[in-house]
């Protein structure tokens, strides 16, 4: 059993009939993910890509026993889509949508405190456990099943790390994008804790970036002792203060959230810091060689 998703995951796609939803559902199915249902209001009762479509998530849960959701609905509807999935008893909600208002996410996090659902994202490439299931938009073929966990705030940097690992012969247990927005569901700390307990994960790659304190909190956790080697890269050493670097969450304010501070704390906490994003794969190889 890998973290978050598994070959037995039964997935519902919210927004399955939209452009993005259609394109990526097709690819998730090709990858071998069990997409058991789709949800689009007022399109219930139809089939889309061979998948039964329902008006609501609750009906998808009742009829198809889905336990995980991937959300592709536009930003204006995404907050209510997350709430609906949590209300319907979905265990894992992956919200791909970019552009959700930050204060809406604050409200959703308040709401989710009283629900058992786990949220990944928003503004994330999703979650993949290679060879088992892909819940998201990442290119499937660069992945390979294995024992390295990857967690990141950035999509393309995750692909970059995964690609390097696969080329060097290291597969991945699970790769998780926690999302590029200021307020997201599961944090670095949450995912690191899951990887630590996961018997299929032997080493972890953490990819951070400027803005916020997610890396600082990860460093605090790792500094208390962590059972597996962690390789970390933090993007944005050259980013100017006060300017947003693409991701809504990638902005430094005052002295908070600088890459150099994050790197310093992660290094003190015992992670292997790589300065070049091209060196992530090699650093994992070295960490695993040093371990055995």
Partner 1 sequence: MRIHEYQAKNLLSPFGVLTPNGRVASTPEEARDAAERIGRPVLVKAQIQAGGRGKAGGVLRAASPAEAEAAASRLLGRPLVTGQTGPEGRLVRSVLVEEALDIARELYIGLTIDRSQAALAFLVAPRGGVEVEALTAEQPGLVLEQTIHLSDGVLPAQAERAASALGLTGPAFTSAAELFTDLVRAFSALNASLLEINPLVLTSDGRLVAADVKVEIDDNALPFHAALRELRDPDEESPAEREAAAAGLSFVKLDGDVGCIVNGAGLAMATMDLVALAGGRPANFLDVGGGVSEEAVAKAFSLLVSDPGVRSTLVNIFGGIVRCDLVVRGIVRAARENGCRVPVVMRLEGTNVDEARMLLAGSGLPFVVVPDMETAAREAVRLARGAGGPR
124 binds partner 1 (CB under 8 A): no
C-beta closer to partner 1: residue 58 or 221: 221
Q: Secondary structure of 194-256 in the HEC alphabet?
A: HHHHCCCCCEEEEEEECCCCHHHHHHHHHHCCCCCCEEEEEECCCCCCCCCCCCCCCCCECCE
106 binds partner 1 (CB under 8 A): yes
The sign of the dihedral angle between the CA atoms of 237, 278, 214, 186 is: positive
221 binds partner 1 (CB under 8 A): no
Q: Is 247 designated active site?
A: yes
Cis-peptide, bond into residue 2, ω within 30° of zero = no
Write each residue from 162 to 191 as x if it is in contact with partner 1 (CB under 8 A), else as -, in one continuous string.
-x----------------xxxx---x----
Task: Mark residue 230 as left, alpha or beta (left: phi above 0; alpha: psi -120 to 50; beta: remaining).
Answer: beta
Query: Of residues 24, 143, 247, 261, which has the active-site annotation?
Result: 247
99 binds partner 1 (CB under 8 A): yes
CA–CA distance, 150 with 70 (Å, rounded to integer): 19
Min separation Cβ 51 and partner 1, Å:
21
Distances in Å between the alpha carbon of 52 and those of 9, 43, 64, 76, 119?
A: 17, 10, 9, 25, 24
15 binds partner 1 (CB under 8 A): no
76 binds partner 1 (CB under 8 A): yes
Please tell me what DSSP assigns to residue 79: H
Min separation Cβ 217 and partner 1, Å:
6
246 binds partner 1 (CB under 8 A): yes
The correct pick among 134, 143, 228, 247 for binding partner 1 (CB under 8 A) is 247
Min separation Cβ 59 and partner 1, Å:
29
Please tell me what DSSP assigns to residue 119: E
CA–CA distance, 215 with 207 (Å, rounded to integer): 9
C-beta closer to partner 1: residue 35 or 138: 138
Min separation Cβ 276 and partner 1, Å:
6
Min separation Cβ 165 and partner 1, Å:
14
C-beta closer to partner 1: residue 38 or 208: 208
**Are the C-beta atoms of residues 173 and 148 closer than 8 Å to each other?**
yes
**Are the C-beta atoms of residues 186 and 120 closer than 8 Å to each other?**
yes
The catalytic site residues sit at: 247
Positions that interact with partner 1 (CB under 8 A): 75-76, 99-103, 105-107, 109-110, 125, 137-139, 142, 152-160, 163, 180-183, 187, 207, 209-210, 212-214, 217, 233, 235-240, 242-250, 253-255, 259, 275-279
């Amino acid at each position: 059993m890998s973290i978050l998703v598994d070959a037995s995951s039964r997935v519902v796609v919210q927004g399955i009939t939209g452009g993005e939803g259609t394109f990526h559902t097709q690819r998730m199915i090709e990858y071998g993910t069990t997409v058991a249902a789709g949800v689009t209001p007022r399109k219930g009762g139809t089939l889309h890509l061979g998948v039964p479509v329902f008006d609501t998530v609750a009906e998808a849960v009742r009829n198809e026993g889905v336990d995980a959701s991937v959300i592709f609905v536009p930003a204006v509807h995404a907050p209510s889509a997350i709430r609906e999935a949590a209300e319907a008893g979905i265990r894992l909600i992956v919200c791909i949508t970019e552009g959700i208002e930050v204060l809406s996410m604050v409200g959703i996090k308040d709401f989710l405190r009283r629900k058992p659902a786990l949220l990944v994202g928003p503004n994330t490439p999703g979650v993949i456990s290679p060879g088992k299931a892909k819940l998201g938009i990442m290119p499937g073929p660069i992945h390979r099943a294995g024992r390295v966990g990857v967690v990141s705030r950035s999509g393309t940097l995750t692909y970059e790390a995964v690609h390097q690992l696969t080329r060097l012969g290291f597969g991945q247990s699970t790769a998780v994008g926690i999302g590029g927005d200021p307020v997201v569901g599961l944090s670095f700390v949450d995912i690191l804790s899951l990887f630590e307990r996961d018997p299929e994960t032997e080493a972890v790659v953490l990819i951070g970036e400027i803005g916020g304190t997610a890396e600082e909190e990860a460093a605090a956790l790792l500094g208390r002792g962590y059972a597996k080697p962690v390789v970390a890269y933090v993007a944005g050493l050259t980013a100017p203060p006060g300017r947003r670097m693409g991701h809504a969450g990638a902005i430094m304010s005052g002295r908070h959230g600088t890459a150099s501070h994050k790197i310093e704390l992660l290094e003190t906490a015992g992670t292997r810091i790589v300065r070049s994003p091209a060196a992530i794969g090699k650093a994992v190889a070295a960490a695993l060689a040093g371990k055995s």
